[in-house]
Structure 1
Amino acid sequence: MPKRLTPVDLTIGERIRARRQLRGWTVRLAADRAGISHTTLSRIERGTRSADNRFILADIAAGLECSVTDLTGQPGAPADQSAAVAQANVHAIRGALIEADFGEPPTHAPRPLPVLERETELVQALRSRLDYAGAGQYLPRLIRELHAAAASPDRDTALRLAVIVGDVALSVARYTGYPAEAWLGAEWSRQAAEALDDPVLLGFSAWARTHAATGCGAYERGHALATRAVDALQDNLSAPNAAEMLGLLLLTSAHTSYAIKRPGDAAEYFAEAARVAARTGETTTFDQYFGPTNVAFWQLSSEVDGGDPGKAVQIANGTDPAVLPVPMRQVMFYLDAGRAFARVRRDREATRALLTAERIGPQHVRSSPIAAETARGLLGRAQRGSELRGLAERLGVAG
């Protein structure tokens, strides 16, 4: 008797088919609702096309009236102990974010401000290394104590730290499969920025909310947040870090323009971001590393999901990720490069890129349903090396 599939066993394509059948819709009707061809949807359901395009997944989820995570199965069963720890931490982070409302009195006594500053730097560093389990263990207490410190004479410094820590919480939650909790982190960052009324930090919190929104597949909302923040920052470009923040917001405006099928707008935003990057050079502001190399990284990601895979390959081949020796940035580059190579059937380069990403950031890659889908597509083709089979196994993909 064949094994009965459980939700954990299902591929993204199988979850899409199950959702469609639950609604009683034909492939053609569901595809029309998603704004894609019925051939594309059919191939995704049957597993002959990888379900690793984030824009298409968001469109399918909207068409099926479900969340993206309903289709990706996140948060899935943890791939290893570090992933299990990271997922457990998110539950504690959620509770801290709900409790630490800046409109409510504190319930915890904070440690001295220098301790909170050092711990904020630590969680930023752990996030940059994609150590979500490591960062997550500090966040619940740090969130509560920054909330308490914001009601003390250290208010302004505590709020500045909170803007950053909210974004770290967002990253930990989003990349371990909890997009709603990621939005809580972004909203906490916004609360702190609004309390300070600092235009650059308000821009940063809008950038964080854009990332949280797109992590939920809400690209229209993300686009609105990013473009409004670009406009709001225009009158404050002489402030410290304002140029870098503007550049980051232009990049997210461009990326979300691709997602909502406005490539002309995307090209304009990318061109403006490139002009800003030419003035700033490579930067480390807010641990986001805006600059010419990061512009190329975002162009690669946007072309993979919403543009031309061939152009994405050209960008990948023409970009040196070593310019930004930061795991957080490099892993995103190699995952996107792997998808680009896979789309043009350059399987050896695709496999090598995925393996490089896993070596740099194993927690991130092994928790990524997009990486798993790319590996699944490669595994389904004729050339199956032992390295690819091993990678697929670590990503939870059956051979």
Structure 2
Amino acid sequence: MVASDLPIGDRIRHYRGGRRQDAVAGLVGISPDYLSQIERGLKVPSLPILYALAQELGVATAALLSEQPPAAEEATDTAEAAVGRALLGYAPTASPTRATAAELRGRVEAAWQSWQTDGDRFTRAATTLPGLVADTEYAVRAVRAGTDPTERRGVLRAAADLYCLLRSYLRRTGRVDLATIAADRAMRAAEDADDPLRIAAAQWNLGHVLLAAGQPGEAEELSLRAAEQLAATQMPEAERAAMGGALQLVAVVGAARRRRWSDARDRLRQHAAPAARMVPDSSNVGWTVFGPTNVALHALSIDMEAGETGEALHTADAIDTSDLPSLEREFTFGLEVAACHSQRRDDAAVLLALLGLEAVAPEDLARTPLARQLVLTVIRRARAMHARQAEQLAVRIGLV
């Protein structure tokens, strides 16, 4: 079995196995160089050549085609599907009685903690979230009709935090459509709770949904407007600085996605960095992980996306992620360092970085498109020893 997103060239290389490239090419009637270019993704084989390769490799022609399966054929009994059913209201409550605000608060905080720190966070979240979402929805409906304003506000605050977490989970599992619903529910709960901090956090989440949906301009506009509103809000200065800075980082990413590198750097330096000086890395206000290190990570991201790999690696050398309360941000840092090494064609360094990421966050490595792309690049381009190690890694993360 190979992953549905594995390119044709990599499928051919996989099924060729240990057979020599020149031997297979000769039997098919093409040059070894042409087969090499097909396997490296530089050429697309014609249908007759594809059929001949399939015959020689002993597989069906369809096995060499890298097409995503139709959505209707996807399994509906997966743990991730259960999360979606809970969000849409099709899952029963896990508890026979309504959970209190304090109980929900503890469960949501534990779920957030696991999501930000556990290497198997997807497995844990898929187990925890369906019941937690169902119980939270049940509690929200109950307190809306209740008479205890303190309990109502507590439940709504827990719901806002949970739906911000759910947005992150759904985006990472490829369900941007459901992530949008989760972000909207987070905003509704935060507004109903009349909680300025959670309203800002919900706007930050919505900005990330827009980025994931390929709408960086809208994300930038939303986050900047939210930052302006937050500046006039009454709340502790450290919280306002952290959430304002986090919203500025969404605008930074939006500008960078539109290739406005100068605007992104100016906003990072003039708005996000001053806010970060007021916030320690460990504060994690609104679960945004905003602080000086996160600002430095965004500077690295800008350099990497702009192709300025030398400057990016220089920036990376000065970053210490050991105090970050989020494994996801640490993973993203390592992945972007690997991408910089890949741009410089240092495949040994890429492989070393990927193996390090596998050790700390194997599920993220298996699910992240950039990580999968980097593994394939090492297989295609690296020396034989490193290519073999990358092939073994591809097996472990489900690429082949």
Q: TM over 0.5, yes or no?
A: yes
Q: Using a 3 Å threshold, how does the CA distance of structure 1 residues 201 and 308 change in structure 2: closer, same or farther?
A: same
Contact residue 284 and residue 325 of structure 2 kept, 8 A: no
Amino acid at match of 2:41: G
Residue of structure 2 equivalent to 1:11: 7
Amino acid at match of 2:133: I
CA RMSD of aligned residues (A): 3.3
Residue of structure 1 equivalent to 2:268: 270
* Structure 2: stretches of 5+ with no match in the other structure: 11-36, 44-65
Amino acid at match of 2:371: A
* Structure 1: stretches of 5+ with no match in the other structure: 15-42, 50-70, 77-83, 101-106
Residue of structure 2 equivalent to 1:127: 115
Contact residue 250 and residue 273 of structure 1 kept, 8 A: yes
Contact residue 347 and residue 382 of structure 2 kept, 8 A: no
The yes-or-no answer on 1:96 pairing with 2:59 is no
Residue of structure 2 equivalent to 1:296: 296
Amino acid at match of 2:127: Q
Amino acid at match of 2:393: L
* Structure with greater contact order relative to length (CA < 8 Å, sep ≥ 6): 1
Shift of 1:245: 0.6
CA distance in 1, matches of 2:155, 2:361: 30
User: Which of 255, 258, 263 matches 1:257?
Assistant: 255
Alignment deviations for residues 76-132 of structure 1 (CA, whole Å, 9 cap, x no partner): 9xxxxxxx99x92332222222239xxxxxx98522333212211221122112512
Alignment deviations for residues 210-231 of structure 1 (CA, whole Å, 9 cap, x no partner): 1122222222222222222122
CA distance in 2, matches of 1:268, 1:13: 42
CA distance in 2, matches of 1:12, 1:302: 31
Alignment deviations for residues 312-354 of structure 1 (CA, whole Å, 9 cap, x no partner): 2222222112232532221111111111111112222222222
Alignment deviations for residues 244-267 of structure 1 (CA, whole Å, 9 cap, x no partner): 111111111111101112222211
User: Which of 37, 41, 44 matches 1:47?
Assistant: 41
The yes-or-no answer on 1:141 pairing with 2:139 is no
Give 4+ residue runs of structure 1 displaced > 4 Å after superposition.
43-46, 71-76
Residue of structure 2 equivalent to 1:115: 103
Q: How does 1:177-256 map to 2 (within 5 A)?
A: 177-236=174-233, 238-239=235-236, 241-256=239-254
User: Which of 158, 163, 166 matches 1:166?
Assistant: 163
Contact residue 207 and residue 252 of structure 1 kept, 8 A: yes
Alignment deviations for residues 277-305 of structure 1 (CA, whole Å, 9 cap, x no partner): 11223222233321111111122223222
CA distance in 1, matches of 2:216, 2:89: 28
Amino acid at match of 2:390: L
CA distance in 2, matches of 1:311, 1:218: 27
Shift of 1:389: 2.7
Q: Using a 3 Å threshold, how does the CA distance of structure 1 residues 108 and 312 change in structure 2: closer, same or farther?
A: farther
Select the structure of larger CA radius of gyration. Answer: 2
Q: Secondary structure at the match of 2:201?
A: helix
The yes-or-no answer on 1:350 pairing with 2:350 is yes
Q: How does 1:261-340 map to 2 (within 5 A)?
A: 261-271=259-269, 272-282=271-281, 283-324=283-324, 326-340=326-340
Residue of structure 2 equivalent to 1:62: none
Q: TM-score, normalised by structure 2?
A: 0.74
Contact residue 100 and residue 155 of structure 2 kept, 8 A: no
Aligned length: 331
Q: Using a 3 Å threshold, how does the CA distance of structure 1 residues 74 and 164 change in structure 2: closer, same or farther?
A: farther
Q: TM-score, normalised by structure 1?
A: 0.74
